[in-house]
Structure 1
Amino acid sequence: MELGGAVTIFLALCLSCLLVLIAWKRMNKAGKLPPGPTPIPFLGNLLQVRTDATFQSFMKLREKYGPLFTVYMGLWPVVVLCGHEAVKEALIDQTDEFNGHGKRTSIEQNFQGHGVALASGERWRILRRFSLTIFWDFRMGKRNTEECITVTPHPIFMTMASNINNFHCPGAPIDPTFLLSCSVSNIISSVVFGSCFDYEDKQFLNLLRLINESFIEMSTPWAQLYDMYSGIMPYLPGRHNRVYYLMEQLKDFIASRVKINEASFDSQNPRDFFDCFLIKMHQVPPLLPLPLRPASHLFFSNSDSPIHKEINQVIVPHRLPSVDNRVKMPYTDAIQRLVDIVPMGVPHNVIRDTQFRGYLLPEGTDVFPLLGSVLKDPKYFCYPEAFYPQHFPDELGRFKKNEAFVPFSSGKRICLGEAMARMELFLYFTSILQNFSPRSLVPPADIDVTPKLSGFGNIPLTMNSASWPLSATCGARRKR
């Protein structure tokens, strides 16, 4: 019995070594990857890269290997880019070579290369061009978008004020995550579905739950293990399969909305993104899937005293803020640098053999451009870890563009909804500070805002709560 167990272990180790050798030869036969920590059979660099703190692990490796290195995520080699200069060289200077979609097996099984975020090649070019055209020309002209974003939050602010006044702990902070999620999601709903939802609509609440839980699952160590060992993980039971079923439910919801549109579809009078997509499908049917895939991707895409002084000076009291005010409000506009929601960035892929910084990356090499390292690059921000709005104003007090300020990525795969997201962030943040005062019985230093999860995305504590749809409650999580 003992001999049989030893033989089994020996054979398993031999098989693991063989698989690593095959993967290494396949990736290096036509190229030369950057150096990195030595992988071990089957596990790759799991000893150096924690699945529950991947970004932080990469930043430690950067100290030893520099801004460009290779890690093995299981059997899967990945080239990691750190800092603004390395990311810019890849995504902007060599954008055509780095334009492919990187591997995310945990969600690719749902979409199979369709949708703006997951497509590549000609299909991706058609989908992106079409989506941008619809966003701008049909529903997303600057004025229409601004009016929608400006008007939508006010019922939310009234609810927040009511919660603050009704709680028996005045002065304690409240958590507006759910309320703001409702409001922001309704803006994209008006574009995709042609109408907004009531905030108590069960279908709408279920949609928010699916999006919220999917983003959480994609950021867990389980999802990363799924991507690392995609050859065997789909056949094993466990939490790693949960993201698949959540995505399928999301697709079912959007498919039901497509049917509603099809029942009253008029090609001469398109009402929303769906209608425009149905028209486009008849023009290039081989390349475009049903609109549920691009639509589901659209939903996944968004010092205190000087800011208040700036708001009071630029915006007349009781007047709604305008996007035109942004140029005169550099402090307020600077908040986006620390909104580090996706520090890992979206994985890219080189579409052909590519020379990069003295190395030869073979076609098919996956690349992680770490956006979090760009937004905190000490060469471009003197206080990279701090909220320091003085990074941005010029000598005349106007917002000065910093080339490392790329919260929505760079290059041709920059976030599709960047313009709308920037508009939302500015108008929502300004409106909140215009209507509420930052006074609390709990000192800000005692409130812990450390993400609950930090994988693909940074997940706040409240998003991970089972009672998230009712999370507008009084109280705060204090540091221990």
Structure 2
Amino acid sequence: MVFSGDVALFLTAVVSCLILLISFKHFWRKGNLPPGPTPLPILGNYIQLSKGDIVKSLLQLSKKYGEVFTVYLGSRPVIVVTGYKSVKEVYVDRGDDFLARGDLPSFDFLYKNYGVAFTSNIDRWKELRKFSLSTMRNFGMGKRNMENLIQEETLCLVTEFKKTKESLVDPREYISKASCNTIFVIMFGNRCDYEDSELLNLIYLMHAAFTIASSGWGQLYDMFPRFMRFIPGRHQKIFIYMKKLLQYVEKRVEMNKKTLDEHNPRDYIDAFLIKMEKTSNNPKSEFHLTNLVNTVLQIIFAGVETISTTLTYSLLLLMKYPDVLGVPRKTAKDITYRGYSIPMNTNVFPILSSVLKDPNCFLHPNEFNPKNFLDENGEFKKNDAFIPLAAGKRTCLGEGLSRMELFIFLITILQKFKLKPPIPPEDLNITPDISGLGNFPKPYTVAFIPQ
């Protein structure tokens, strides 16, 4: 006689065996991929990557398996590429083979393959990128008047730092406002007061969403999206925050619609709305409301988080050393790469930090040391391995703007203030608090002393 408990146990065993069989078949049929750690069914290489710092884990694996290797995020194979020569091959030398955007489930769930930055549709990306570059240049990106606008915003930032009266503050809060206003001028046609509630809320939502997506919760969701979508946890807040951000952009678009003058576009949104009207008879046009809202948010998101995180980390490093003054890709077709057969739509992770610390390219790869960029005479020397914003055709849309902001903001701060940490410089901890999609420094405070 078979009891119900035995039946349940038997069925569980059968289902488990089927899942294991299907999973192994899934791994086996991938063919001639680069070597890598043996994946477990369903879990993939989660055990090897579950230490909270996925970048560090991948770099450790590269020591064993070489510059190009395969890991499984759940059942999803990912080709990891490290080192300057290998990453350059992906980004530049064979850029067309790796042109498609890789999967990022934590953001893809809401973007749904729309917008200029997170689409894997190459034709959509080409059309939106061409329009975005042209439009952003028309509204000042890379031009002298944009440099003047950044300088004016920097003066506002300096004024805010002076208001702190040398007390200890979190610098990110101030830097985010300045970087947000710079991109606002292009996208929305105006800047906001530093105490504007909508500006502060927008900055909070972007930073919170990006931080969680980079954390262990976000990494777990990206490995097992179908499962984690229904599991409670911090990763669920990503979708809440992103939805609020999209709603904010939708509201700004509606505001522009009501006052639109087709002969006098004021900002990026106006230009996109005019393009929508001109292409309204084309059912295949990429200029529609969904792409507008998603593209605007993606550009703002990238601009604000890139600048604020980089500058926040820069100030920490400069306090630590007072004596001194990267998104996945995907194969666009079946390709052969370094003797391996990689199917179309396979995710590829070029690890930029491995390039920026490549001992073949930098004299002091693991140090904050200006000599990495100086010749034997102490003069600046261009280093082709310095690609913090990636390279090739899908490089950052606002690279020129970002470089200009970083230079003007940082140099002005250093000219106007002495940075005073709350503890001795040698005790400052510069290891990342979170390392995933982005590297975030541990929270710290600094006093800005006018000089």
TM-score band, normalised by shorter chain: 0.7 to 0.9
Match of 1:192 among 174, 187, 195: 187
State the Cα distance separating 1:282 from its structure 2 match.
2.8
Cross-structure match for 1:123: 124
Question: How far, CA to CA, are the matches of 2:279 and 2:11 in structure 1?
Answer: 54
Q: Is the CA contact 2:213–2:235 (under 8 Å) kept in the aligned structure 1?
A: no
Q: Does 1:64 align with 2:64?
A: yes
- Output the aligned Cα RMSD: 2.4
Q: Does 1:7 align with 2:10?
A: yes
State the Cα distance separating 1:439 from its structure 2 match.
4.5
SS at match of 1:72: strand
Q: Does 1:20 align with 2:23?
A: yes
Residues 231 and 23 (structure 1), Cα distance of their counterparts in 2 relative to 1, 3 Å cut: farther
Q: Percent identity over the alignment?
A: 39
Cross-structure match for 2:102: 102
Q: Does 1:50 align with 2:54?
A: no
Q: Is the CA contact 2:102–2:348 (under 8 Å) kept in the aligned structure 1?
A: yes
Question: How far, CA to CA, are the matches of 2:445 and 2:63 in structure 1?
Answer: 41
SS at match of 1:299: helix
Question: How far, CA to CA, are the matches of 1:221 and 1:16 in structure 2?
Answer: 26
TM-score normalised according to structure 2 size: 0.88
Q: Does 1:289 align with 2:288?
A: yes
Q: Does 1:143 align with 2:138?
A: no
Match of 2:243 among 242, 248, 263: 248
Cross-structure match for 1:218: 213
Residues 282 and 395 (structure 1), Cα distance of their counterparts in 2 relative to 1, 3 Å cut: farther
Cross-structure match for 1:316: none
State the Cα distance separating 1:396 from its structure 2 match.
6.1
Matches within 5 A, 1:3-402: 3=6, 6-7=9-10, 9-28=12-31, 32-50=32-50, 52-119=52-119, 120-165=121-166, 167=167, 174-284=169-279, 286-290=285-289, 291-301=292-302, 345-394=326-375, 398-402=379-383
TM-score normalised according to structure 1 size: 0.83
For 1:116, give the aligned amino acid.
V
SS at match of 1:364: coil
SS at match of 1:158: helix
Q: Is the CA contact 1:270–1:276 (under 8 Å) kept in the aligned structure 2?
A: yes
Q: Does 1:450 align with 2:431?
A: yes
Unpaired runs of 5+ residues, structure 2, are 304-310, 319-325
Q: Is the CA contact 1:267–1:279 (under 8 Å) kept in the aligned structure 2?
A: yes
SS at match of 1:80: strand
Deviation string 1:352-393 (CA, Å, 9 cap, x unpaired) is 011111111111110000011111111001111111112223
Q: Is the CA contact 1:354–1:360 (under 8 Å) kept in the aligned structure 2?
A: yes
For 2:48, give the aligned amino acid.
Q
Question: How far, CA to CA, are the matches of 1:389 and 1:161 in structure 2?
Answer: 29
Question: How far, CA to CA, are the matches of 1:20 and 1:254 in structure 2?
Answer: 41
SS at match of 2:80: strand
State the Cα distance separating 1:449 from its structure 2 match.
3.1
Question: How far, CA to CA, are the matches of 2:139 and 2:258 in structure 1?
Answer: 21
Match of 1:429 among 395, 401, 410: 410
State the Cα distance separating 1:6 from its structure 2 match.
4.2
SS at match of 2:432: coil
Residues 250 and 26 (structure 1), Cα distance of their counterparts in 2 relative to 1, 3 Å cut: farther
Question: How far, CA to CA, are the matches of 1:273 and 1:156 in structure 2?
Answer: 25
Question: How far, CA to CA, are the matches of 1:392 and 1:472 in structure 2?
Answer: 29
Question: How far, CA to CA, are the matches of 2:420 and 2:215 in structure 1?
Answer: 34
Q: Is the CA contact 1:27–1:365 (under 8 Å) kept in the aligned structure 2?
A: no
SS at match of 2:264: coil
Question: How far, CA to CA, are the matches of 2:48 and 2:421 in structure 1?
Answer: 41
Cross-structure match for 1:318: none
For 2:265, give the aligned amino acid.
P
Question: How far, CA to CA, are the matches of 2:111 and 2:86 in structure 1?
Answer: 30
Question: How far, CA to CA, are the matches of 1:69 and 1:164 in structure 2?
Answer: 52
Residues 449 and 146 (structure 1), Cα distance of their counterparts in 2 relative to 1, 3 Å cut: same
State the Cα distance separating 1:144 from its structure 2 match.
1.3
Q: Is the CA contact 1:99–1:351 (under 8 Å) kept in the aligned structure 2?
A: yes
For 1:21, give the aligned amino acid.
F
Q: Is the CA contact 2:330–2:347 (under 8 Å) kept in the aligned structure 1?
A: yes
For 1:137, give the aligned amino acid.
N
Question: How far, CA to CA, are the matches of 2:56 and 2:248 in structure 1?
Answer: 36
Q: Is the CA contact 1:91–1:412 (under 8 Å) kept in the aligned structure 2?
A: yes
SS at match of 2:355: helix
State the Cα distance separating 1:175 from its structure 2 match.
2.5
Deviation string 1:147-180 (CA, Å, 9 cap, x unpaired) is 0111102222222123143x3xxxxx54211011
**Which sits farther off after the overlay, 395-404 or 421-430?**
395-404
SS at match of 2:42: coil
State the Cα distance separating 1:395 from its structure 2 match.
5.5
Deviation string 1:264-298 (CA, Å, 9 cap, x unpaired) is 00111000010011112234453233221111011
Question: How far, CA to CA, are the matches of 2:277 and 2:422 in structure 1?
Answer: 60
